[in-house]
Structure 1
Amino acid sequence: MQSLIHRHNLYDLVHRSAARYPEKIAVISPTSRLTYRKWEWAINNLAQFLFHQGFHKGDKIAVDSRNSAEYATLIFAAAQLGVILVPINFMLAAPEISYILSHAEVNGIISDREFTERIDTALTLLPDPTVLTGRLFVLIPKDETVGWEALPSLSSLASPPHLTDLPLDGPSGDDMAQILYTSGTESRPKGVMLTHNNLIHEYVSVVIDGGFAADDIVLHALPFYHSAQQHVFLGPYTYLGATHVITSMPRPDIILPLIAEERVTEFFAPPTVWISLLRSPLFDHYDLSSLTKGHYGAAIMPKEILLELSRRLPHTQFWNFYGQTEIAPLATVLKPHDQLRKLGSCGQAALNVETVLLDEHNQPVPCGEIGEICHRSPHIMPGYYRDPEKTQEAFQGG
């Protein structure tokens, strides 16, 4: 009973938002519009389905998919069951996918129908291709796929749960929630282990330093397989009980109409996508006045683009988020009032982060000198999965 009293995992964030805002719209996608009550029902029912397919706490499921309401539902269903999610970059080739499946020791795979053939090829490269037989599921069924079973549709899941036999020992904060593979500059990707506590601490930093609010309507166009869209926007905004608008591609002809039609208040993208919006002939055809918060990352926003954005989106304030997957991934924030004043900066350390520059002896460097960026934070991963040497290298300055 004590563990239940103190439990705080990713699923609990949905559960509490559904208790606060049961009739508020939680998820909007091309095929779905769910309240928080119905979204929690869908999450519960998907967790039940996975449990009855033989998945249990500590198992690992890889997911290869574009953004969808179904993908968002899976993220929290896995968290409820204690299954560790392994998001796959859908742009990877079969040999790279095969390496991740093998290294992560996955127990099952969930994929868009679009990517099942590539997964099938990746499976043939495994030492034992039959190890996942009967453990392959299509996230959004379109037609029968040989060797793959269809998951229940989201519409069928979004009804009061009929079964309530999930194990009571759900994941604790210190249990692993996900393994996200990141290659950096090395040939083999490393599996970043992130616990529920890592992520929830990071969500708190994001909410406070990113200006997030429960009444925001947030557009998700960048892929969920990446830690930025999933863990800087989907997770924190679910924590607050905001409304998610989900689309599968970050194209101007999709993004601009959605902002206008759904009265979106927040949008995140790298500078290249913001520039594509400005250069689109559709930009001035839509009412974008609802957009009050713009976030970007992965690169510095050029001064000329910042000035153009402030002129053409006069109601929008901008934040620059910087970090890496290993810190879940927010580390520093450049806030709106510093966008031009500190042009080129990645900002200051986020709420739950301490950031310093160290020399080769792990000593702080004097102001104005070059050093290695190092962080101390409860966001930070416990290590790389099945890679103690790389883990030691990453933490040797701690």
Structure 2
Amino acid sequence: MKIRTNMHEGRRTEMYACGAWNDMIITDCFEKAVTATPHKIALTGYRVHADDRVSLSYSELDRQITRMAAGLAGLGVDKGDVVSCQLPNWWQMSALFLACVRIGAVCNPLMPIFREHEMQYMLAHAQSKVAVVPKTFRNFDHQAMLRGLRSELPDLKHVLVIDSDDEQSFDKVLLQRAWEEEVDTTRLFAERRPSADDVVQLLYTSGTTGKPKGVMHTSNTLLSNIRPFSERQRLCADDIILMPSPLAHQLGFLYGLMLPMYLGATAILQDVWEPAFAVRVIAEEGCSLTLGSTPFLADLAEQARTERGRLASLKTFISAGAPIPGALVEKAASVMQGTKVISAWGMTENGAVTTTRPEDPQTTAVNFDGVALPYMQIKIVDEHGNELPAGEEGDLLVRGASQCVGYFRQPDMYSVDAEGWFATGDIARKDAAGYIRITGRSKDVVIRGGENLPIADIENSLYQHPAIQAVALVGAPDERLGERLCAYVTLHDASAMLTLKDVTDFLMEQRFTRQYLPEYLEVLPAMPRTPSGKIQKFKLRDMAKDIFHNQQAHA
């Protein structure tokens, strides 16, 4: 089927003219590596709890991809059809994406933590023709879940199950049949080859607010991010890239799946995050780069305290998803010597937009979320859309080559102005050199007594409290002041005690004004998070709203 996008000819012309887009697709990069280094390890996958390790050379992976692609076509997957895959970081996920590209299908990665509610909505909305799932993962029966949803999904023709031994077995259907001998694959792949402007990825937003939207990306939008990203970070075919973040999230997909194939490098996949296991993998595989949100960095730094020297190969840790607390960078620098911490900011809609540079002082990653990559532009505007000068806080807008081409079957939801600027929903400030700092979300503003509270600054300070592992500040409605400030925290030691007075005393020691102190504290066993690790503040707002409503009702 032909997928409708929000692409307009003017953008296409501009992007080709400036060299951001070049008609390349990811299988071109992969096939170049297959020819140049057929025996090099392309991908090594670790199943942590199964204690299982699978390694595939470029030529071995190529054979698997060819068979998968021919098999999917044999099952009736046409050009433009959606193939959904709810998989952990297993080698089959990487292979499926490349197989889809070879036959012009659209790959739709889905987070393994999704259950019936999310899966029914996304598979129905995507009109998925094929879904690939594990039989079980982390003690959950994904095959049974899909079996229960089939009657609600008329477009879904095939469910293929990894590790199953029945008629839905992924191996039996796709890998144990020589599909490539039943069709002229050279002709098939040539006829089905997508243009660089065709949609190849459908990825649903993580849903911090409202229903997820299906973000559409093309080869041009994805590769125009990977190319300058790799150049800025000085990456090459010799790099060994560990990806513990989910491949079904844009960070994992772009930089754990596509980036290694673009470079002709080696990808190391870890399916369950266990920091001790990651340290072992880094040491044994010689990993030079890994990426993840701040909890990954915090866990790795904590592990490194007792395993100094085992991270000697790790040149770079790229942290994205939330600003990095300064105390965490200092800790990482002291125990992960030789590892540079890079800060980055981006979205599902555009991949990484800003990163710090390897040559920047380490303090830059503490104070900033980076400067725009080549082919991307950013600006900070006020509520009327007027661009603000350096140092002033406002709404963050972006435009450029890696911006997505719309939301699947929801064109009216895609808000891009006539000049191509996309409203990110983030609040930020920018310095004179173009480095930005994310200070909150547009709906992450607490106004108490008519004053905007500096949420990001307060949170960053609280991250330095020795007992606090994670913190999120939200507002609760108040009849007199407008809003009151509520603090939700998790602790390093779950059995420890932390009181509101402990928190306010700590902030007073940091010389915060009393007007900025939280009026309520709750210690949680875990923060509500999106699949990508972002704290879901809308859930915390609902909790705070209920608490203050009950307090006022009994006053």
Among 132, 137, 146, the residue aligned to 2:156: 132
What one-letter code is carried by the residue in structure 1 that aligns with 2:78?
H
Among 145, 148, 153, the residue aligned to 2:168: 148
Q: Determine whether 1:55 maps to 2:77.
A: yes
Query: 2:361, 2:170 → 1: CA distance?
Result: 49
The 5 A counterparts of 1:229-268 are 229-268=252-291
Aligned position for 2:354: 332
Aligned position for 1:228: 251
Q: Determine whether 1:64 maps to 2:64.
A: no
Query: 1:312, 1:171 → 2: CA distance?
Result: 46
The answer as to whether partners of 2:70 and 2:179 remain within 8 angstroms in 1 is no
Q: Determine whether 1:369 maps to 2:396.
A: no
1:328-382 superposed Cα distances (whole Å, 9 cap, x missing partner): x110002242430462311100122111112233331122222211112110111
Aligned position for 2:119: 97
The answer as to whether partners of 2:221 and 2:403 remain within 8 angstroms in 1 is yes
Distance change in 2, residues 1:307/1:273 (3 Å)? same
SS of residue paired to 2:363: coil
Among 214, 217, 222, the residue aligned to 1:191: 214
Query: 1:183, 1:200 → 2: CA distance?
Result: 22
Greater relative contact order, per chain length (Cα 8 Å cut-off, separation 6+): 1
1:67-113 superposed Cα distances (whole Å, 9 cap, x missing partner): 11111111111111111011112212202111111111111111111
Distance change in 2, residues 1:160/1:335 (3 Å)? farther
What one-letter code is carried by the residue in structure 2 that aligns with 1:38?
E
Q: Determine whether 1:21 maps to 2:37.
A: yes
Query: 2:268, 2:174 → 1: CA distance?
Result: 16
Q: Determine whether 1:200 maps to 2:223.
A: yes
Among 363, 366, 371, the residue aligned to 1:348: 371
Q: Determine whether 1:39 maps to 2:61.
A: yes
Distance change in 2, residues 1:307/1:356 (3 Å)? same
1:270-318 superposed Cα distances (whole Å, 9 cap, x missing partner): 1111211232388417622111111111122222221222222211112
Query: 2:229, 2:123 → 1: CA distance?
Result: 31
In the TM superposition, residue 234 of structure 1 has moved relative to its aligned partner by 2.2
The answer as to whether partners of 2:244 and 2:270 remain within 8 angstroms in 1 is yes
Segments of structure 1 that go 5 or more residues without pairing to the other structure are: 1-5
The answer as to whether partners of 1:332 and 1:347 remain within 8 angstroms in 2 is yes
Larger Rg: 2
The answer as to whether partners of 1:318 and 1:335 remain within 8 angstroms in 2 is no
In the TM superposition, residue 117 of structure 1 has moved relative to its aligned partner by 1.8
Query: 1:281, 1:359 → 2: CA distance?
Result: 43
Distance change in 2, residues 1:48/1:7 (3 Å)? farther
1:15-58 superposed Cα distances (whole Å, 9 cap, x missing partner): 11212222211111244221112211211111111111111211
Aligned position for 2:344: 321
Aligned position for 1:79: 101
Aligned position for 2:143: 116
Percent of aligned positions that are identical:
25
Query: 1:384, 1:84 → 2: CA distance?
Result: 14
Of residues 275-284 and 12-21 in structure 1, the stretch that sits farther from structure 2 once superposed is: 275-284
Query: 1:342, 1:282 → 2: CA distance?
Result: 21
Query: 1:321, 1:335 → 2: CA distance?
Result: 10
Aligned position for 1:3: none
Query: 1:76, 1:309 → 2: CA distance?
Result: 35
Number of residue pairs matched?
A: 383
In the TM superposition, residue 253 of structure 1 has moved relative to its aligned partner by 2.7
Structure number with higher strand proportion: 2
RMSD over aligned Cα atoms: 2.4
The 5 A counterparts of 1:307-318 are 307-318=330-341
The answer as to whether partners of 1:70 and 1:154 remain within 8 angstroms in 2 is no
Segments of structure 2 that go 5 or more residues without pairing to the other structure are: 1-21, 46-51, 137-141, 421-555
Of residues 335-344 and 214-223 in structure 1, the stretch that sits farther from structure 2 once superposed is: 335-344
Query: 1:243, 1:342 → 2: CA distance?
Result: 26
SS of residue paired to 2:114: coil
The 5 A counterparts of 1:376-387 are 376-387=399-410
SS of residue paired to 1:322: strand
What one-letter code is carried by the residue in structure 1 that aligns with 2:37?
Y
Name the TM-score, length of structure 2 as normaliser: 0.65
Among 273, 277, 280, the residue aligned to 2:296: 273
What one-letter code is carried by the residue in structure 2 that aligns with 1:11?
T
The answer as to whether partners of 1:256 and 1:283 remain within 8 angstroms in 2 is no
Name the TM-score, length of structure 1 as normaliser: 0.89
What one-letter code is carried by the residue in structure 2 that aligns with 1:358?
V
Query: 1:345, 1:67 → 2: CA distance?
Result: 30
Distance change in 2, residues 1:370/1:34 (3 Å)? same
What one-letter code is carried by the residue in structure 1 that aligns with 2:143?
T
